[in-house]
């Protein structure tokens, strides 16, 4: 399973990424726009949402989400709360490190200001 330290390392390598308040939090943003966050699930309908260990929500385009859900349902999923929302739920014990890093980088590209993305891609 990919641990929080690896996720943090991948996210903090991207320009202007900010980490959530807690040291172990998997909440990351760029200029106030969310990139990833812990998945909060309900144990019972109408029950309180609590962090589900081993699952990360990651921002993505709806088209990409549909492809991921179809191609690898053992890795990517959604629930009623995320249906129609531009984020996919990722099982950290099933996803590869390179695949998750690419997904997180895509989330950053989606949310970061375009001039910042251009500078990053140009390597400056």
Which CATH number belongs to the domain containing residue 29 in this structure? 3.90.1150.30
pTM: 0.92
Whether the per-residue pLDDT at 1 is higher than 90: the answer is: no
Q: What is the pLDDT of residue 45?
A: 83
**Residues 19, 7 contacting (CB under 8 angstroms):** no
Higher pLDDT: 121 or 22? It is 121
Residue 63 lies in a domain: yes
Count up the domains in the chain and report the number: 1
How confident is the model over 75-109, as pLDDT tens digits?
A: 999 998 899 999 999 999 999 999 999 999 999 99
Whether the per-residue pLDDT at 115 is higher than 80: the answer is: yes
Average pLDDT over the chain, rounded to whole? 93
Token pair belonging to 116: 């910042």
Residue 41 lies in a domain: no
Whether the per-residue pLDDT at 46 is higher than 70: the answer is: yes
Residue with tokens 């099933």: 94
Q: What is the pLDDT of residue 24?
A: 61
**In terms of residue numbers, what domain contains 99?**
4-36+49-122
Burial class (CB in 10 A: 0-12, 13-18, 19+), 120: middle
How confident is the model over 23-42, as pLDDT tens digits?
A: 567 899 999 999 999 999 98
């Amino acid at each position: 399973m990919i641990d929080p330290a690896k996720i943090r390392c991948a996210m903090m390598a991207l320009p202007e990424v900010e980490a959530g308040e807690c040291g172990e939090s998997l909440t990351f943003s760029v200029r106030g726009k969310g990139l990833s966050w812990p998945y909060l699930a309900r144990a019972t309908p109408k029950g309180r949402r609590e962090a589900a260990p081993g699952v990360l929500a990651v921002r993505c385009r709806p088209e990409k989400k549909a492809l991921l859900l179809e191609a690898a349902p053992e890795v990517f999923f959604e629930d009623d709360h995320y249906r129609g929302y531009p984020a996919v739920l990722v099982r950290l014990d099933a996803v590869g490190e390179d695949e998750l890093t690419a997904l997180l980088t895509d989330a950053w590209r989606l949310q970061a200001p375009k001039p910042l993305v251009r500078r990053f891609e140009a390597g400056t």
